[in-house]
């Protein structure tokens, strides 16, 4: 791998220094410059022509989103990784940035100015490396997002006219790095009358999952929410597992209802929420009426559960390498024999509908 040139943009001198210290621990990364605000960033981008930019969302003179759009106009090949504060406002702005073309994000572990940014250092380095191997998701994301939102306004979604009965089928989707953009390619294309519930496990911190669920709800034909304790899985409805806790499912013995149970157990998982934990729980309740989907992400979370779902007679779908931002999780599922269907992200909505119709 050639050395990756990185430009750090943050209005905090302490944060610039902290990020630089983290990145310089990796021999494949060269920090070519640092900028204190958006205007300074545009000058430094012209001067150094970096491969990747790490950018604080909240900056004076020019905010991160505006700066990113100018960067894309000036330097279309650059990859942008947002560094976001763990707040609701920070989360919503982050998802806007992802829709507009940012590669991914990392969340500062303790607010806007983080002395302990080293906690997410490995994640930041991994995402920088992943970003240079991928094409930017789209060249005209803004127009696509606006078109999608305009189309959504044309569709009046009435909860009273859509069948919201308890479901007997579930689609459980696991995803990590690159997930928000990939899910936005898939979930808006799921029809409102899907004869199944959808549960999404996206590796994401608390607060971010609530904001992301709202983003999905605004853009999808089926309603989405962040899952809460005691929620009932219903046909044609979607849930996002909350950050920082596992989502499991339990069946009401005397009825056909399946209830959400949020739990901190097991405590030794690499990710919380864990795709494996949720998939295994849903498989236990729904058996062969489970559709497992594993999308882009680093590591192997969900791969073992995909094997179990397939062995139990359920249907499993893994994203192909051709579209995966990071071909880690789906590759593990494929190599372990846990993927019945391998498809690019733009075909997965159709594959989900076909799978539900087969059950």
pLDDT of residue 22: 93
pLDDT at 178: 87
Q: 3-26 pLDDT, tens per residue?
A: 999 999 999 898 899 899 999 999
- Paired tokens of 235: 């046909």
What is the spatial distance between Cα 6 and Cα 53, in angstroms, rounded to a whole number?
6
Domain ranges of the chain: 4-132, 159-358
Predicted local confidence at residue 66, as pLDDT: 93
* Tokens linked to 117: 């940014």
Q: Is the pLDDT of residue 143 over 80?
A: no
Which CATH superfamily does the domain covering 4-132 fall into? Answer: Response regulator (3.40.50.2300)
Treating both helix axes as pointing N-terminal to C-terminal, what angle do 179-186 and 208-219 enclose, rounded to 10 degrees?
A: 20
- Between 57-66, 70-79, 266-275, 310-319, the lowest mean confidence (pLDDT) is in 57-66
pLDDT greater than 80 at residue 119: no
Whether residue 171 has pLDDT greater than 50: yes
Instruction: Return the closest-CA partner of residue 32 out of 10, 18, 15, 47.
Output: 47
Predicted confidence at residue 110, as pLDDT, reads 61
Mean pLDDT over residues 268-283, rounded? 96
Mean pLDDT along residues 22-41: 95
Residue 163 pLDDT exceeds 60: no
Which segment of 28-32, 52-56, 91-95, 295-299 scores lowest on mean pLDDT?
91-95
49 and 5 in contact (C-beta within 8 Å)?
yes
- Per-residue DSSP letter, 297: B
pLDDT of residue 58: 83
Give the separation between CA 202 and CA 271, rounded to whole angstroms: 10
- Give residue for tokens 């030794």: 268
| Token code pair at residue 65 | 């989103």
On average, the pLDDT of the chain sits at: 88
What is the pTM for the complete model shown?
Answer: 0.85
Active site residues: 176, 203, 301
Bridge-partner residues for 248, per DSSP? 261
Note the pLDDT of residue 153: 40
Burial label for 111, CB within 10 Å (0-12, 13-18, 19+), is exposed
The domain covering 159-358 belongs, at the CATH homologous superfamily level, to Methylesterase CheB, C-terminal domain (3.40.50.180)
249 burial via Cβ count (<10 Å: 0-12, 13-18, 19+): buried
Domains 4-132 and 159-358 share a fold: yes
CB 166 within 8 A of CB 258: yes
Lowest mean per-residue pLDDT among 58-72, 80-94, 182-196, 229-243: 80-94
Phi and psi at residue 165, to the nearest 5°: -70, 165
Q: How far is CA 148 from CA 141, 236, 240, in A?
A: 10, 20, 21
pLDDT of residue 254: 64
What's the pLDDT tens digit per position in 37-49? 999 999 999 999 9
pLDDT (0 to 100) of residue 148? 47
Is there a contact between 258 and 249 (Cβ–Cβ < 8 Å)? Answer: yes
The dihedral over CA atoms of 175, 180, 186, 190, expressed in degrees to the nearest 10, equals 100
pLDDT digit string, tens, across residues 90-106:
788 888 898 888 999 98
pLDDT value of position 262: 97
Q: What percent of the chain has pLDDT over 90?
A: 69
């Amino acid at each position: 791998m050639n050395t990756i040139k990185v430009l750090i943009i943050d209005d905090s001198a302490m944060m610039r220094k902290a990020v630089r210290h983290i990145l310089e621990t990796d021999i494949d990364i060269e920090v070519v410059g640092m900028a204190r605000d958006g205007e300074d960033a545009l000058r430094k981008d012209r001067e150094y022509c970096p491969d990747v930019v790490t950018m604080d969302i909240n900056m004076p003179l020019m905010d991160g989103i505006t700066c990113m759009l100018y960067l894309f106009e000036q330097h279309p090949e650059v990859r942008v990784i947002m560094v976001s504060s763990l707040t609701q406002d920070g989360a919503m702005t982050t998802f806007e940035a992802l829709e507009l073309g940012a590669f991914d994000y990392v969340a500062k572990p303790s607010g806007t100015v983080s002395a302990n940014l080293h906690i997410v250092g490995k994640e930041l380095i991994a995402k920088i490396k992943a970003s240079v191997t991928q094409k930017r998701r789209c060249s005209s994301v803004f127009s696509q997002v606006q078109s999608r939102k305009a189309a959504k306004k044309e569709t009046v979604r009435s909860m009273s006219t859509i069948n919201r009965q308890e479901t007997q089928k579930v689609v459980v989707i696991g995803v990590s790095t690159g997930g928000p953009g990939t899910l936005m390619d898939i979930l808006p294309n799921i029809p409102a009358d899907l004869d199944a519930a959808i549960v999404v496990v996206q590796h994401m911190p608390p607060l971010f999952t609530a904001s992301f669920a709202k983003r999905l709800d605004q853009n999808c034909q089926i309603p989405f929410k962040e899952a809460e304790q005691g929620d009932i899985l219903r046909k044609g409805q979607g849930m996002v597992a909350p950050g920082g806790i596992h989502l499991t499912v339990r069946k009401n013995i005397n009825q056909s209802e399946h209830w959400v149970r949020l739990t901190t157990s097991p405590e030794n998982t690499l990710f919380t929420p864990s795709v494996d934990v949720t998939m295994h729980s849903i498989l236990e309740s729904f058996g062969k009426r489970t559709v497992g989907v594993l999308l882009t992400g680093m590591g192997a979370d969900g791969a073992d559960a995909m094997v179990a779902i397939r062995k139990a007679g359920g249907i499993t779908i893994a994203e192909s390498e051709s579209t995966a931002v990071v071909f880690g999780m789906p590759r593990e599922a494929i190599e372990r024999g846990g993927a019945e269907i391998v498809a690019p992200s733009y075909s997965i909505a159709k594959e989900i509908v076909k799978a539900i119709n087969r059950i």
